[in-house]
Amino acid sequence: MMRPSTFIFACALIATPTLALADPTGSYDVSGRNASDGSTYTGTVEVSREGATYKVVWNIDGKESVGTGLGSHFEHGDTIITGTATDHDTGLAVGYSSGSDNYGIATYYLQSDGTWQGVWAYGGAQNITTETWTRK
């Protein structure tokens, strides 16, 4: 039979890697698929905390897109809290602009392998597509 202190320590070891990866701030390699023609793309994305929000800056083929994000995470088991950016967010909702006439929305979620996977769409689009962030 496992002693309570051993059980608590074992649970802490299991949870620690997930908690350490939860903060979405950092530098990532990004790969995705274009919604319009299905072609693939690669680039980088930088996520930083700006007060209560996240600043998200993509660089794809020399073009910069800038977004503002809200964080989300589970609290007390199954309650999802969305709002102020925190270091334990496991979800990110981003509105972004890629030039004067292009805008869109994206959502990303932390995966068990440490990547952030999401879906995105341009404003007015009828299709969505996917994107994956891999921490550098």
Tokens of 52: 């209560």
pTM, rounded to two decimals = 0.82
Tokens of 121: 């769409």
> What's residue 98's pLDDT?
86
* Average pLDDT of the residues in 9-29: 62
Is the CB of residue 41 less than 8 Å from the CB of residue 29? Answer: no
Structure tokens that stand for 28 in this block: 């990532």
Give the Å distances, CA to CA, from 126 to 16, 64, 91, 129. Answer: 40, 23, 23, 10
Handedness of CA 36, 126, 130, 93 (dihedral sign): positive
Q: Average pLDDT in the 69-97 region?
A: 93
For residues 119 and 91, give the distance between their C-alpha atoms in angstroms, rounded to a whole number.
12
pLDDT at 12 over 60: no
> Which amino acid, 70?
L
pLDDT score, position 36: 85
